[in-house]
Chains A and B, each alone.
Chain A
Amino acid sequence: MSRLGWLACAAGILAGALVAQDGSTQNDWPHYGGERSAWRYSALDQINRSNVGRLKAAWAFQTGKVDGGFNATPLVVDGVMYVSSSWNRVFAIDAESGKEIWHYFYQNPREIGIIYSPWTRGVAVSAGRVFFGTLDNHVVALDQKTGREQWRVNVEDMRQCGCNITGAPLIVKDKVIVGVTGGDSAHRGYLTAFDVSTGRKAWRFWTIPAPGEKGHETWTGDSWKHGGGSTWLTGSYDPELNLVYWGVGNAAADFYGEARKGTNLYTDSIIALDPDTGKLKWYFQEVPHDVWDFDAAYECVLFDAPVHGVARKLLLNVNKGGYAFVVDRTNGEFISAWPVAENITWITGVDSKGNLVGRNEPPVGQTSLICPSIGGGRQWNHGSYSPHTKWFYTTGIEWCQAVTVTPEEPKEGLNFFGGVFQLRQPMHGPAGGHLDAYDPVTGKKFWSYPSKYPLLASQLSTAGDLVFSGDPEGNFFALDALTGKKLWNFPTGSGHRGSSITYSVKGKQYVATPSGWGSALAGLLPQLWPETEDFPPGSTLFVFALPSEER
């Protein structure tokens, strides 16, 4: 392509992106993933590569409960921050001063007794309300101004389903769409939409088809009734196509698949639904018949890019097994897959049609070495797409596990793993993590920032060509988006497990990050890094800005 042609093409793509799906946030951070395209990218550039070294703490906010860590993404709407922390504590905070406006502490029952707790990942804000899911499986709507409860609905008895809600809801028009945990329990997953004003159920999409429905033939016997397929994170939305995209989790039992022969739709799939009806428009299954616990539940990043010279509307999803899958988001057509970790032994690759090659299924009754571990070639914490560099920033983890598969019968409300695992050192190089910059379509790696420990915090990229993230030792840092060079670091005193954001109030740009070590994965780390057992928990929101004279 000539230079002029390339420019015209790029301009066309850019124009298309602006009309169809501008995923950049401006002054606010209105949704979980920034905008609903899940870029986690801000057009703000007051803080940039040249001045980030002078970034200073502006204020800090304590949530008061440290167990489970601080795993949330704060939202900012019109200068007010909304954030949730462990045990469903929800706060509205003046985003400029750090002063609390209101708080709401949801009263959970004394015994939760299921493994998906007590962390929470965030709230949704729309139509004068703040929405969140609870550890005891309710959806709650609060008055945005006062924090007073408006409605709540118990989605399912958590004692029976062994499920609850830890992910942030997604707002689409007049509906609040909420996922569910339970992928490691004897549970059948779903996605439910509620009317924002009344809380009445609008629709439900079951991630496992019932008898008589298309796809049910991919399950044997009664396995579909408790086959997992949870929707434990937050989906994305393309208003132009009017499609909501959601990643579906692993099949259950996690490791024992003999009782559910077949591909087990729609586990480990990206599903595209009509948000008005909840009807399935298309799906793409990343891992047919999963016996490794390799969810497709992570974020769906919606971006537009040329593929073989043709502008395409794409969706990128990093699978827990360590491969990023790219599909056409209009129809689910496979485009490409590329690895985010070096130690991957459960498959040897993905072919040009998107099929897994060289499946390495752990035999029942034996102990096998599989890489990556159940914690993933990447954890759930989200990557970031920058339209400025056109790169995708995400983490990878090098670790393996000895997995022992055992037959298991499903039991109401209880875990359903079908085996156990222990973390193991990888074959190539030491266990650890890295944060990398990739071409999102080809997976070409531009730089890599190494880390002693797995990086378990999300990435935030900005028009200032910065990438923010944090590490388990408590460092919050900014990297040069073009080179990966560390430009700024601030020790917050407790490890990072949540998602940082940036916003602007009265012309001043702020960067906010949760700090607070904890979660299921944090608890596993001592198996490879014994010293991490003593890493301090916390639950503090840190907010940074440039000193006034620097702006």
Chain B
Amino acid sequence: MIALALLLAQSALDPSVIARGERIFAQSCSVGYCHGVAGAAGRGPRLRGRSFSKDYLLNVTRDGIPSSAMPAWKGRLKDDEIRAVVEYVASLSSATDPAPPANPMPPGVGPASMPSFGGPPQAARGHALFFDPPRNHCGACHAVGGRGIAVGPDLTALPVKSPTELTSLIHATRSRHVLNAKLANGEEFPALLAEQNGNHVRLYDLTLPPPVLRALARRDVVSLVENQTWRHEDFVKDYSVAELQDIVVYLRWAATGQ
């Protein structure tokens, strides 16, 4: 943050930085219902003709505004891109015309630079497969690297070397976490215990993906014991060996960066 602030101070009023910021803003901040072309207002607030301190702009652009639609752009834009956007928005403060420029899209606009996935191609394929929604994907119950629904164990550091190993891990899983829940109404399902609080129990029902977090009165839960028989649904059959290899490469990349 300090380095970024220094960069900001150095770059003040550099026209090429502002122009770069304009391009990034057009692609990332003008779009849709957000801040409108050249900050003319949208679903987000108007930025033209308003004075904001650069520190404020930097904080808000980097970290977002909690409990709002304003996202944190760190991780989505590079630091120098955020810096350029801040310079550009600051330059809009002197704009007095409510109407934005005639050509709203400056030349040379391209997609914002941060790709959705930074790994090598095979890991990227594995990433896509891990989170492939139509196949009741792994990501419906497991998180990796801050993505996915973290109901089961986080797999970011899963030590897996080959498709065979991955397959056997999936088939062999009798997680010590998975319980068998029996309810007073006769219902029975594989469960993960999420929370016990006084007279209430919260269990993830693993019958079908996606898992359902069910809140129950303690008296309605007849028993909650280790599940000796639970296995992953055999979704491995939905993937080819080559695809499993891609997932293995992705998990290794997520764990080690390689």
* A118-B105 in contact (CB<8A): no
* B41-A415 in contact (CB<8A): no
Q: CB-defined interface of A267-279 with B at 8 Å, one 1/0 digit per residue? A: 0000000000000
Interface of chain A residues 406 through 439 with chain B (CB within 8 A): 406, 408-415, 417, 419-422
Interface of chain B residues 23 through 39 with chain A (CB within 8 A): 26-27, 30-34, 36-37
Q: CB-defined interface of B114-137 with A at 8 Å, one 1/0 digit per residue? A: 111100000000000001011000
In the complex, what residue of chain A is closest to B189 when comparing beta carbons?
A198
A73 interface residue (CB < 8 Å to B): no
In the complex, what residue of chain B is closest to A418 when comparing beta carbons?
B31
* A420-B43 in contact (CB<8A): no
B152 interface residue (CB < 8 Å to A): no
In the complex, what residue of chain B is closest to A424 when comparing beta carbons?
B99
B163 interface residue (CB < 8 Å to A): no
**B residues in contact with A100, CB < 8 Å:** none
**B residues in contact with A519, CB < 8 Å:** 43
| Contact residue among B67, B105, B111 (Cβ-Cβ distance under 8 Å from A87) | B67
A533 interface residue (CB < 8 Å to B): yes
A360 interface residue (CB < 8 Å to B): no
* B33-A520 in contact (CB<8A): yes
Interface of chain A residues 194 through 246 with chain B (CB within 8 A): 198-201, 206, 210
Interface of chain A residues 468 through 489 with chain B (CB within 8 A): none
With A159-B147, A367-B104 known to touch, is A527 a contact of B41 (CB < 8 Å)? yes
Q: CB-defined interface of B156-184 with A at 8 Å, one 1/0 digit per residue? A: 00000000000000000000000000000
**B residues in contact with A188, CB < 8 Å:** 133
Determine the distance from Cα of A254 to Cα of B208 in the docked complex, in whole angstroms. Answer: 34
* Band of interface residues on A: 35 or more
A111 interface residue (CB < 8 Å to B): yes
A43 interface residue (CB < 8 Å to B): no
* A108-B210 in contact (CB<8A): no
* A524-B214 in contact (CB<8A): no
Within the complex, what minimum Cβ distance (angstroms) separates B154 from chain A? 13
* Band of interface residues on B: 35 or more
B7 interface residue (CB < 8 Å to A): no
| Contact residue among A153, A159, A521 (Cβ-Cβ distance under 8 Å from B213) | A153
B251 interface residue (CB < 8 Å to A): no
* B109-A413 in contact (CB<8A): no
* B212-A153 in contact (CB<8A): yes
B40 interface residue (CB < 8 Å to A): yes
* A111-B64 in contact (CB<8A): yes
With A115-B32, A150-B214 known to touch, is A524 a contact of B41 (CB < 8 Å)? yes
B22 interface residue (CB < 8 Å to A): no
B13 interface residue (CB < 8 Å to A): no
B205 interface residue (CB < 8 Å to A): yes
* A411-B33 in contact (CB<8A): no
A309 interface residue (CB < 8 Å to B): no
**A residues in contact with B72, CB < 8 Å:** 111, 113
* A199-B209 in contact (CB<8A): no
- Partner-B contacts on A (CB < 8 A): 67, 87, 108, 110-115, 117-118, 148-157, 159-161, 184, 186, 188, 198-201, 206, 210, 254, 367, 402, 404, 406, 408-415, 417, 419-422, 519-521, 523-524, 526-527, 530, 533
Interface pairs (5), CB distance under 8 Å: A254-B32, A420-B30, A422-B36, A523-B33, A533-B46
- A115-B43, A417-B32 given. 9 additional CB < 8 A pairs? A112-B68, A150-B215, A151-B213, A206-B134, A406-B105, A415-B34, A421-B37, A520-B33, A527-B36
- Partner-A contacts on B (CB < 8 A): 26-27, 30-34, 36-37, 40-46, 64, 66-72, 76, 98, 100, 102-105, 109, 111-112, 114-117, 131, 133-134, 139-140, 146-149, 151, 187, 205, 207-215
